[in-house]
Amino acid sequence: MKIVIVENPRPLTVEHYNDVANAPLSASLNSGYALAVARRAGWDTAYLDFSSGSDDAAAIAARIRSEAADIVLFHWVYSWGHEERVRTVLELLRRENAASLGAFGLFPTLSRNRLLQFAPQLDFILAGEFEGTLAELLTLFVARRSITAQPGVALRDEKFVPRRLIADLSRLPVPDDVGANCDYPTLNIAASRGCYGTCSFCFIHRYYGCSSRRTRDVVSLERELETRLSRRDIKSLYFIDPTFIGQGDKERERVGAIGLMAARVGLPFGFETRVDSLDERLMTTLTGNGATSVFLGIESGSGSVLERIGKRISTEQIRRGVRIVRESGMRLNIGFIMFEPDTTLDELKENFSFLDGLGLLTDHDLTANLLYHNQIVLHGSAAWQRFEQEGRLLVEGHLPFEAGYRFRDERVGLVCKAMGRLTSEYFTRMAAIRRDGSGIGGGPANPGTPKLFSREEVNIILKEAFMAFCSAAENRLPQQFAVVENSCIVQLRSILA
């Protein structure tokens, strides 16, 4: 018996460059776990990655068919407008192939009913945490030669029964290293799953069906590390846990032990965590053991927004967290949603002052990111449901699984749109500059590419544009707003010409 795991085509476009897609990093291990589970169940496996390619549907279908698999399982991630191509692949497979067709992962979990309608060629969806479900499905398939009802499997005309979460994560097999992961010198690894947070925009608790966090023991982590480090040359580790540090002394001890493990293999590491999980002692210990970067999802600099999105942290805790990370010497990466859909103009300005006050708006790359992040609304999210009920959802026919929305304050929508245009210009031009190897930030250009620009000037124009858009929006004069918007774009173009 053979299963082929397929990554759907999802080339990134400039429009999606800077969207808060909320696709958790843990998704990067899904296919690796699926392959390992299938082999443990005695199946032959193949892996096909079409995620960044431009192959047409016929070529993709032919390649999949050539594997002659009994089950074709799509790790279907949001396709950024390429859904139709995936559906055509499924159609071709259905026509000329007897394999059972399925999908798994975050997106199929959250949108399972709509996806089964959108792609009637799909026989089943593995919804939620999938490893236990897949192992059982493969065993049953050997006996019955078809996909039948079982917990965790969504079938078109059957009532869906969720599967209980895996009680002991240490018993998971070591995931394969496949796909884009292998192009990076950093190894993604998971020391826990889930999060005790309930942030309204986040998919983690919706995917697992609860707000709890499960850890695995350090021995199993060490075993996995040993196996995976023997496969390729790795320069650093990244813990993809939604929140690497949990609560309580025992958890701090465990995280300390993981740091020691990283030190034993001599690899620097990074992780993501909540600001309320940080303390000076632990950060000093982790830095001493090789921790070099931390990602904090601070999301907003406004207390009212933090409350609205259910983040359960205060601006004071954020300041403290940022200070602790800086004092530890680790690199700080920030998650921020500037344009929360219910935000007011005053909250936008509060966000700006907060970020500026923390010294986070001093580098043009980070400034562009922080001053534009908006919240995109994906089908299956709480936001989709809410905006649909409130009549604020803006769906376009060619994007069936993502939507825009009307801001509560249309002036905020204006600022968001203008920042979107400005940052698209910025990202496009920066990508071109980086591609042709021009000198950046006044540094030396590569031979033959004399182009230089000032980091400071770019940073200043991004910041000034944001504040100018806020002021112009306040005045409610559309023509004046358009003049300010165009002038800022022209200025940015002239610096990055």
The residues that touch ligand SF4, with contacts defined as CB under 6 A, are 195, 197-199, 202, 204-205, 242-243, 274, 297
Nearest approach in angstroms of CB 320 to ligand SF4 is 16
Nearest approach in angstroms of CB 275 to ligand SF4 is 9
Nearest approach in angstroms of CB 399 to ligand SF4 is 24
Q: Which of 307, 483, 337 has its CA nearest to residue 412?
A: 337
Task: Check if the beta carbon of residue 189 is closer than 8 Å to that of residue 175.
Answer: no
Alpha-carbon gap, residue 458 to 465, rounded angstroms: 11
Q: Which lies closer to ligand SF4 via its Cβ, residue 93 or residue 296?
A: 296
Show the tokens assigned to 7.
């990554």
Nearest approach in angstroms of CB 90 to ligand SF4 is 31
Q: Which lies closer to ligand SF4 via its Cβ, residue 11 or residue 335?
A: 335
Nearest approach in angstroms of CB 112 to ligand SF4 is 21
Q: Which of 107, 348, 341 has its CA nearest to residue 201?
A: 341
Q: Which lies closer to ligand SF4 via its Cβ, residue 205 or residue 392?
A: 205
Alpha-carbon gap, residue 103 to 154, rounded angstroms: 10
Nearest approach in angstroms of CB 276 to ligand SF4 is 9
Those residues with Cβ within 8 angstroms of residue 469's Cβ, 6 or more apart along the chain or in another chain: 414, 415, 418, 419, 481, 484, 485, 488
Nearest approach in angstroms of CB 296 to ligand SF4 is 10
DSSP state of 184: S
> 399: buried, middle or exposed (CB in 10 Å: 19+, 13-18, 0-12)?
middle
Q: Which lies closer to ligand SF4 via its Cβ, residue 297 or residue 301?
A: 297
Those residues with Cβ within 8 angstroms of residue 3's Cβ, 6 or more apart along the chain or in another chain: 38, 43, 44, 45, 46, 69, 70, 71, 72, 73, 138
Q: Which lies closer to ligand SF4 via its Cβ, residue 172 or residue 313?
A: 313
The SS3 call for residue 153 is strand
In order, the DSSP letters of 156-180 are TTS---PPPPPS-GGGSPPPP--GG
Alpha-carbon gap, residue 497 to 492, rounded angstroms: 8
Q: Which lies closer to ligand SF4 via its Cβ, residue 124 or residue 203?
A: 203
Q: Which lies closer to ligand SF4 via its Cβ, residue 3 or residue 383?
A: 383
Q: Which lies closer to ligand SF4 via its Cβ, residue 111 or residue 243?
A: 243
Nearest approach in angstroms of CB 472 to ligand SF4 is 32
Alpha-carbon gap, residue 301 to 126, rounded angstroms: 38
